[in-house]
Structure 1
């Protein structure tokens, strides 16, 4: 009996987690750490717990409900709860590239489905293996796929803002509307086959890898193109600053004006802060490109020293000057995300004793 129950739990919970591991492995840039994946799964789990009192109790049968609620209303509610986590990640600038968005979406959807299936496994322990196979390879994969597609579409619509200067960033809820409607539509189609659950399962199991691998392919090429172009731009910016000049741009002119107003000492600190930030952004981009090509190599001591000096300069500039400078700097939210990824990579490599 215990062996049968264990098999049911494995059928319901394992397939979507295996797919998640495969998608993380396919990521050329290795953007996700184990800790980040666990946190994303937990976010999805929280959404699954939160939605159950509203949606789960009204599901009339497994593996797919037969009522109009299950077929037409539940997808709206469940996708909204899952989408809230992705919107939160966008708001806190925790999503950089489309690959990052897809993996984050699938991981949150996987966490949602795992918690949902644990609840149902507990409530309906006597259901057969076919039920849990449909739940694990069909419903769970569908939950991950719809949120991955939602996140990819939101990323596409947000690109213009996230790649412009962070000081000009304007968060828009409209980025999330088209992807939400598509996620609901896919979810709703899946729920239209209550009398043929195996067909729904096969549809989800076939559609998910094709859709996500296609987005992965596009996202990888897109990210590499951006990295090459932006690395050259930041390298030129760094060379200009190291030559004692201000970059010939609107941002350079505004920062030069700010520096003149604050005096010679402040000018030195401002120029050095911009120089260090440009260096770290360039190093982050170089490291990501090297990771995609094989194995990233960098000088950890030099990068740690740059981070330390940057943090020190932030304090010596003063809160007011720093806030104004950051608003004027030409770095995008995507650039800052890349630098944060570099900082995390440095910590992770140090913990593993690599590049120390």
Structure 2
């Protein structure tokens, strides 16, 4: 029973989050990687925390309340920060699930260590508190980091500011938990009740944002691509803008810009189409030539250079979310 109460709650919560992802944004392979990283992060934190306490002769209570939250939240968050930097996370939904998975892995490893060290302790309540309280806290804190960082990026905050605000929030929450300002029983009950509500709100809001983004951009991109293919772009504001750029770029660069715009729109539409199919329970359309087209887009992006990217930004906004949706095509 000790094993069940200490390990099952966080795993069941993670599975529930995964099943609630209606757009199927989360990759199982990446989810497992996050879970495994959490286990590795727990080992790193254990050895690092042990060294810090011994080397600096730190008071255990002060260490657990103020320094341990810093080392643990940084190590747990590394995997989600890497995924965000690689455009593998696009919305709060997948950020929350990947973040919780990393925290869950950490909690599982930590609780296994406690099971070994306290194997002769017959008190079941300890394992209930650790399983429903501490474990969910670890998952929730890392999910919070991931959501705040991706939210900051989408609001175009500097990356360092987005990361700092996410980690600071996690430090504070973790530190407050370790202070035990209220009874451990009440603290565990609050986490068990509040955390699902918070995730439900985040999922609902993020789903609405995702649906609005798909509806608005999908129709706009289809119309723009249709005009390009029919040769009617010149009579639009977008066409007039491209004509003006001829004064600033060589003819071959202008041609690359047209090709880049057309190919990006085609791939972006296909990525959004697949998201819509996933949401409605249909299989995505797999096209063998997609990888070649993505590589061609990458090559065109190199050819137009940074100046070309800046010039075409009013028409094609290659922001984090746009790069993320193109990555979805690679992962089919």
TM-score, L = length of structure 1: 0.78
Question: In 2, distance between residues paired with 1:209 and 1:9?
Answer: 23
Taking a change above 3 Å as real, the CA distance of residues 249 and 43 of structure 1, as seen in their structure-2 partners, is farther
Question: In 1, distance between residues paired with 2:168 and 2:240?
Answer: 38
Match of 2:128 among 125, 130, 133: 133
2:56 is matched with which residue?
none
1:112 is matched with which residue?
106
1:276 is matched with which residue?
263
1:165 is matched with which residue?
none
The answer to whether 1:43 aligns with 2:57 is no
Question: In 1, distance between residues paired with 2:118 and 2:52?
Answer: 15
1:167 is matched with which residue?
none
The SS at the match of 2:273 is helix
CA offset at residue 39 of structure 1?
0.8
CA offset at residue 140 of structure 1?
0.6
Deviations 1:299-325 (A, max 9, x none): 433xx334424435755x595446765
Contact (CA 8 Å) 1:40, 1:108: kept in 2 or not? Answer: yes
1:124 is matched with which residue?
118
Decide which moves more: 280-289 or 323-332.
Answer: 323-332
2:282 is matched with which residue?
296
CA offset at residue 142 of structure 1?
0.5
Decide which moves more: 331-340 or 11-20.
Answer: 331-340
2:246 is matched with which residue?
257
CA offset at residue 223 of structure 1?
1.3
CA offset at residue 174 of structure 1?
0.6
Deviations 1:266-310 (A, max 9, x none): 755653343222111112112213322x22355433xx3344244
Question: In 2, distance between residues paired with 1:224 and 1:319?
Answer: 31
Deviations 1:101-141 (A, max 9, x none): 11111111111111222222233322333222221211110
Question: In 1, distance between residues paired with 2:52 and 2:129?
Answer: 19
1:229 is matched with which residue?
216
The answer to whether 1:99 aligns with 2:93 is yes
The answer to whether 1:80 aligns with 2:74 is yes
Question: In 2, distance between residues paired with 1:311 and 1:53?
Answer: 43
CA RMSD after TM alignment? 3.2
CA offset at residue 152 of structure 1?
1.6
Match of 1:33 among 27, 34, 43: 27
Taking a change above 3 Å as real, the CA distance of residues 219 and 122 of structure 1, as seen in their structure-2 partners, is same
Residues matched between the structures, number: 320
Taking a change above 3 Å as real, the CA distance of residues 83 and 298 of structure 1, as seen in their structure-2 partners, is closer
Contact (CA 8 Å) 2:36, 2:105: kept in 1 or not? Answer: yes
Taking a change above 3 Å as real, the CA distance of residues 49 and 279 of structure 1, as seen in their structure-2 partners, is same
Contact (CA 8 Å) 2:35, 2:105: kept in 1 or not? Answer: yes
Deviations 1:233-266 (A, max 9, x none): 2222212321334674499639953996143xx7
TM-score, L = length of structure 2: 0.83
Contact (CA 8 Å) 1:16, 1:141: kept in 2 or not? Answer: yes
1:1-356 matches, cutoff 5 A: 7-55=1-49, 67-128=61-122, 129-161=124-156, 171-193=158-180, 196-244=183-231, 245=233, 248-249=237-238, 253=242, 257=246, 261-263=250-252, 270-292=257-279, 294-301=280-287, 304-312=288-296, 319-321=302-304, 329=312, 330=316, 331-345=318-332
CA offset at residue 211 of structure 1?
1.2
1:164 is matched with which residue?
none
CA offset at residue 195 of structure 1?
8.9
CA offset at residue 171 of structure 1?
4.6
The SS at the match of 2:137 is helix
Taking a change above 3 Å as real, the CA distance of residues 189 and 314 of structure 1, as seen in their structure-2 partners, is closer
CA offset at residue 36 of structure 1?
1.4
The SS at the match of 1:54 is helix
Contact (CA 8 Å) 1:75, 1:184: kept in 2 or not? Answer: yes
Deviations 1:2-23 (A, max 9, x none): xxxxx32332222101100100
Decide which moves more: 244-253 or 18-27.
Answer: 244-253
Question: In 2, distance between residues paired with 1:255 and 1:137?
Answer: 62
